[in-house]
Chains A and B, each alone.
Chain A
Amino acid sequence: QLHLQESGPGLVKPSETLSLTCRVSGGSITSSNYYWGWIRQPPGKGLEWIGSTTMSYSGGPYYNPSLKSRATVSEDTSKNQFSLKLTSVTAADTAVYYCAASSRGGWEFDYWGQGTLVTASS
């Protein structure tokens, strides 16, 4: 049973970089069984996929085209965690950020972290 836990600053100044980490327990991020992702949800709004990574396929990480130039997803295998960096944040990046995983080798997300609210404000 996977468990995912997001961590990182809850407040980021406009134009700065948002950095979040997702610690994984109950499974290895190096396993080809899993597909990892970051999804965000602005207050009162819907879900938006940011980016994903996996050891199953080459060519990754993969990004939402609307965010690709600002987002970076990376893995830290020594700590069994993966991270998100989002540069040049604005108020529009204020959201609950979730890390999530697919454990079936597919592309749907069956495990989610609890989410962490990040506010972009001076």
Chain B
Amino acid sequence: EVVMTQSPATLSLSPGERATLSCRASQSVNRDVAWYQQRPGQAPRLLFYGASTRASGIPARFSGSGSGTEFTLTISSLQSEDFAVYYCQQYTYWHTFGQGTKLEVK
């Protein structure tokens, strides 16, 4: 099983700041990584696939990067609606998700 490890578990930032979330795979997954945002009480929302391709309707302040085993989700200037939990997912070897990073207001 491919283990996806996200860091940090919790990230405390203020609106307007830049957020950098990391995801590491236990073995190479090429660029087969998706990122999701989950707000309380809601289903996950796809942000990126193929590590860096923005899904439909996702604002440009979100960017994804990485390949192999190291992946990054960056939010350039945090808006109030961005405070949520973020998950990475690999789909090279079936599907496994990271444990999530909670982005909270400082």
Contacts and interface: CB of A to CB of B under 8 A. Distances in A.
B95 interface: yes
B91 A114 contact: no
Contacts of B99: 46
B43 A115 contact: yes
A52 B32 CA distance: 17
A8 B64 CA distance: 36
Contacts, number: 54
Interface string B70-106: 0000000000000000010101001111111000000
A46 B89 CA distance: 11
A13 to B, nearest CB: 27
B49 A46 contact: no
Contacts of B1: 65-66
Tell me the dominant secondary structure on chain B's binding face: loop
A98 B43 contact: yes
Contact of B94 (A64, A108, A109, A114): A64
Contact of B43 (A65, A106, A108, A114): A114
A113 interface: yes
Interface of B: 1, 32, 34, 36, 43-46, 49-50, 55-56, 87, 89, 91, 94-100
